Amino acid sequence: MVYTGFRSALRTGRTSRYLCRQNMEKVNRHNMSKSLLSICLILICLSGPGERVWAQQVQEPANAPPEWSRPYKPFCIAGNLYYVGTCELACYLLTTPQGHILINTGLASSVEQIKANVATLGFKLSDISILLTTQAHYDHTGAMAALKEMTGARFMADEKDAGVLEDGGRSDYAFSRQYSSFRPIGVDRLLKNKDTINLGGASVTMLHHPGHTKGSCSFLFTVKDEHRSYTVLIANMPSIVTEKKFSELKTYPEIAKDYAYTLDAMKAISFDIWLASHACQFDLQVKHKPGDNYNPAAFIDRKGYDAALKALRNEFDEKLEKE
């Protein structure tokens, strides 16, 4: 396996982020093929008025890196936006007086950490009324079905990821497999590019950023504190997950066009603060140490965002050359 991003990381001197990202993708690919060692959960789901019963088998890929489930002290990023994820799998809580929005959930086992983190911050899990995800992969949706049950929240997703979310990843173009890699989740509202999600004065715009999955997306919104307002981008960085040639992906013929679109669209976004689906993608550990004081300015980093996108553009261009 050749990691071209690693070489460009050495050239740019931004080694830690790219090593981290490459490691993440390597593990992702590796894990998807290690189904024999997987945790197997047999979930008995009731469908209809208690008569029809069906069994759904879920195997979350095993051997996840320890930082994916290592706890991280929750904190306020800016205004009413909080970090409630693990050390590496970023989850965000946007609070409002009329309920909260949770973006991403980490692995199936992350549910207890999210629950504890929300409580530590002084909020109620039961006040979460909307659930969102940046992509239909098990390291971001693993606990979504459980949290939906626990909170009664509505789950909203990019329409292009709906099928994969509803079959627990079985129809994923890169990782299609016999078993679901996360519990299937019914989508209550299908989102299209630039749709807004409004709740208690918050307005979140979904930006369709396909490639990593067919319905990967980012979220753009504004938060305020007593000093100023911040435009926040929760970016789903368009990293490449398939080892196959794009032309070999019969179930996703438009993949190259989608990546090209996403790379251009993401370059054109204006924001103050950027965050991402994985903590290492935006250098969370460098920008915020557990226990640090409130400091939104730590996340103002256009340069880091542009460099991360440039590295992904290079990776994409190198892959295209090998087609």
For residue 233, the minimal CB distance to Zn ion (Å) is 18
Do 62 and 33 contact (CB within 8 A), yes or no?
A: no
Binding-site string for Zn ion from residue 127 to residue 166, where x marks contact by CB under 5 A and - marks none: ----------x-----------------------------
User: What is the number of alpha carbons within 13 Å of residue 106 lying toward its C-beta?
Assistant: 27
Instruction: List the beta bridge partners of residue 132.
Output: 103, 156
For residue 240, the minimal CB distance to Zn ion (Å) is 10
Of 32 and 130, nearer to Zn ion (C-beta) is 32
Q: What is the end-to-end Cα distance of the chain in Å, rounded?
A: 16
Residue 17 near Zn ion by CB under 5 A? no
Q: How many whole angstroms separate alpha carbon 22 and alpha carbon 110?
A: 23
Of 118 and 185, nearer to Zn ion (C-beta) is 185
CB-based closest residue to Zn ion: 137
What is the amino acid identity at position 223? V
Q: How many whole angstroms separate alpha carbon 281 and alpha carbon 262?
A: 17
Q: How many whole angstroms separate alpha carbon 291 and alpha carbon 52?
A: 50
Do 109 and 41 contact (CB within 8 A), yes or no?
A: no
For residue 229, the minimal CB distance to Zn ion (Å) is 31
Binding-site string for Zn ion from residue 88 to residue 127, where x marks contact by CB under 5 A and - marks none: ----------------------------------------
For residue 199, the minimal CB distance to Zn ion (Å) is 26
State the residues that interact with Zn ion by CB under 5 A.
137
